């Protein structure tokens, strides 16, 4: 990858560091929200890829090449998704947000060889500050609260490593997913359980003020037989409800972790989701449920859930980390230093 400081957006980032008003750049050539909104309508044709101002954003040309590789379906998808996922993991999401309108048509094309890869990465820029996060206060949390933040000001996401406003990248990706939610929702009924899980993960980032997404997640849950997919549907419903409060979902999740007929993975996911949506103290029965079902084997199995994969940290699996942070916050952070126990 080339030095991102040679990208034109660096001038904007430097100006912001020097005290420029972020709102003065809103809607312009360096506002990824505006650029994504402008390309959404033509993304399905695939003809607009080179018309997008990729060079206006840090690592933009790398993101463009990755989408091109996925679109052609020729090279191994792992290289392209590695580039896009790596940028997000390195806290540089702006250019990856530009790819979302192009990734969705690939993901929803049942005959495209890289549809699973595209679906697995397309919601990466729609989340930030979530790796290793597993507390009740922060898991499943969308950090931009319109009641506290002006749309063209900094929010709780702050800035990316490049200095670009992280909230703009997240908002652009979420807007693209929201606009295409109607074509993503049918993937909840796909024959491949991995597609169903990743579809739920992506849809959980869509704006859902009228609870349409939540209703479809619940409808799929009613017919879903795969325990891990059922767990994914519950976590997606919890994330959606955290962004758009829906008290019936809180009650529904409580019923699910209390239901002894449910699979252990489902009860564990419901418990995690419920803890994120309520300030109520965890009852003893919830402690007993988690202690009974959170075996090493089940913890490993639940790593298939992208929420748990993201929550992992310091060598601690995601589910274990959630349990420690949510129910035993007084316990110290584990060390992944191989020399820590040496004299």
First-to-last C-alpha distance (Å) of the chain: 41
Q: What confidence score (pLDDT) does residue 69 get? A: 92
Q: Tens digit of pLDDT for each residue in 259-291?
A: 999 999 999 999 999 999 999 999 999 999 999
Nearest CA among 127, 143, 244 for reference residue 177: 127
- List residues bridging with 165 in a β-sheet: 159
> Helices 94-107 & 166-179, crossing angle to 10 degrees?
20
A 10 A CB-CB count for 68 gives 15
Minimum mean pLDDT range among 121-130, 141-150, 206-215, 306-315: 141-150
Integer CA distances (angstroms), 148 to 22, 122, 245, 327, in order: 16, 27, 16, 29
**The pLDDT value given to residue 328:** 94
The Cα-based distances of 43 to 33, 34, 47 in angstroms read 15, 15, 7
Structure confidence at residue 156 (pLDDT) = 82
The crossing angle, in degrees rounded to 10, of helices 94-107 and 77-89 is 140
* pLDDT over threshold 80, residue 121: yes
Q: Quick one: pLDDT band at residue 312, thresholds 50, 70, 90?
A: very high
Lowest mean pLDDT among 66-70, 155-159, 188-192, 285-289: 155-159
Residues 6+ apart with CB under 8 A from 124: 84, 85, 88, 93, 96, 173
Cβ-contact 63, 96 below 8 angstroms: yes
Q: What confidence tens digit (pLDDT) does each residue in 188-245 have? A: 999 999 999 999 999 999 999 889 999 999 999 999 999 999 999 999 999 999 988 8
Q: Which residue has the higher pLDDT, 275 or 157?
A: 275
Quote the Cα angle for 112-115-116, to 5°.
Answer: 140
pLDDT of 308 strictly over 70? yes
The pLDDT confidence band at residue 13, using thresholds 50, 70 and 90, is: confident
CA 99/CA 278 separation, integer angstroms: 35
CA dist 136 and 329 (Å) reads 10
**Residue 1 reports pLDDT greater than 60:** no
> Quick one: which H or E segment has residue 181?
helix 181-184
> What is the rounded average pLDDT of the residues 81-92?
94
Query: What is the SS3 string spanning 86-139?
Result: HHHHCCCCHHHHHHHHHHHHHHCCCCCCCHHHHHHHHCHHHCCCCCCCCCCCCC
């Amino acid at each position: 990858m080339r030095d991102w400081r040679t990208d034109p957006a660096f001038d904007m980032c430097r100006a912001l560091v020097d005290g420029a008003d972020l709102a003065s750049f809103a809607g312009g050539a360096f506002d990824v929200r505006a650029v994504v909104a402008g390309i959404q309508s033509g993304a399905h044709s695939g003809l607009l890829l080179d018309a997008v101002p990729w060079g206006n954003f840090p690592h933009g040309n790398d993101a463009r090449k990755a989408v091109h590789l996925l679109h052609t379906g020729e090279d191994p998808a792992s290289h392209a998704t590695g580039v896009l996922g790596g940028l997000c993991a390195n806290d540089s999401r702006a250019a990856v947000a530009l790819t979302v309108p192009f990734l969705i048509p690939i993901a929803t094309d049942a005959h495209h060889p890289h549809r699973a890869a595209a679906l697995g990465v397309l919601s990466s820029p729609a989340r930030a500050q979530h790796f290793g996060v597993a507390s009740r206060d922060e898991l499943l949390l969308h950090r931009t609260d319109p009641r506290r933040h002006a749309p063209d000001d900094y929010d709780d996401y702050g800035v990316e490593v490049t200095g670009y406003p992280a909230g703009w990248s997240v908002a652009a990706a979420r807007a693209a997913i929201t606009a295409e939610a109607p074509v993503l929702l049918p993937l909840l009924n796909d024959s491949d359980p991995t597609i169903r899980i990743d579809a739920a993960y992506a849809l959980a980032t869509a704006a859902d003020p009228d609870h349409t997404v939540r209703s479809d997640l619940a409808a799929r849950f009613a017919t879903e037989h795969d325990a891990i997919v059922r767990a994914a549907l519950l976590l997606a419903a919890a994330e959606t409800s955290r962004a758009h409060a829906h008290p019936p979902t809180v009650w529904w999740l409580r019923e699910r972790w209390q239901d002894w007929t449910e699979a252990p993975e489902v009860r564990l996911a419901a418990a995690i989701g419920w803890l994120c949506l309520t300030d109520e103290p965890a009852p003893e029965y919830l402690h007993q449920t988690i202690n009974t079902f959170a075996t090493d084997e089940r913890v490993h199995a639940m790593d298939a859930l992208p929420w748990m994969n993201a929550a992992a940290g310091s060598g601690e699996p995601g589910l274990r980390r959630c349990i420690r942070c949510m129910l035993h916050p007084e316990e110290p952070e584990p060390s992944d230093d191989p020399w820590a126990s040496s004299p």
